[in-house]
Amino acid sequence: MKDYRSSHLDAQCPAQFEVHYTRGHGHLYWNHFERPYLEKLFARLGRDCPGRYLDFACGTGRITELASPHFAETVGIDVSESMLAEARRRMPGARLIQADVMTDPPDVGTFQVISLFRFILSAEDHLREGVLKWLRTVIAPDGVLVVNNHLNHWSITGLRHRLRNIVHGRRGGPPTEQHIETLLRGCGFEIVDAYGFAIIPPWRDTRRFPSAALLRMERFLGASKRLQRHAKDRIYLCRPI
């Protein structure tokens, strides 16, 4: 296993992962944008698509914990036992499975709602495709896949990332929305709705904008669906096709 999966096996990974959401702009955007949006979304999906919920690559259970109260059964899958140990502490009632679906996919049945966060950007092409194709086999015909990209190609932060790669002679960059749409369609999903936040570049631990002013500006800009397409973080709602 010499790809994105191996980066999550270290025992220190859970603490390193969680720190992003406890300070700076990661904390700001999680508390004021991503978490409130997901709480409303999962509450709606729990009413419209009641039944079983799967959080794939669930990690420490950050997303799983929000969705779990709205579904009859919650299942989380991750390759990392250290990540799952933290998730079990947060959600002792959830069914959490250590598994690598690329080599030994578990028999878990089908799900009405599936989430896949912080995966599309970081995983290699073969891993993205393999996981999405497996998820297509376990989603109900009328189910919903909620997937995110936490570094949008067309955001200001994505532009900085691409310019840095050019300066250092590196190829590639964050995926475009068209690339993500093509990837999802090739694996049996279509995007039916999207949401974006972090239009203003989220410098993590510095305070170039006071928090209150940043929030007001972000909410004002984020009211535009067109501007949301240039947000750093994008969340897509998908249906199986």
> What tens digit of pLDDT does each residue of 43-98 get?
999 999 999 999 999 999 999 999 999 999 999 999 999 999 999 999 988 999 99
* Separation of alpha carbons 36 and 222, rounded Å: 14
Question: Where do the DSSP E strands lie in the chain?
Answer: 52-56, 73-78, 95-98, 111-116, 139-149, 189-197, 233-240
> How high does pLDDT run on average in the chain?
90
How far is C-alpha 135 from the chain's CA centre? 14
Domain range spanning residue 164? Answer: 4-240
- Residue 12's CATH number: 3.40.50.150
The pTM of this model reads 0.92
Give tens-digit pLDDT for 93-112.
899 999 999 999 999 999 99
CA distance 29 to 47: 26
Number of domains in the chain: 1
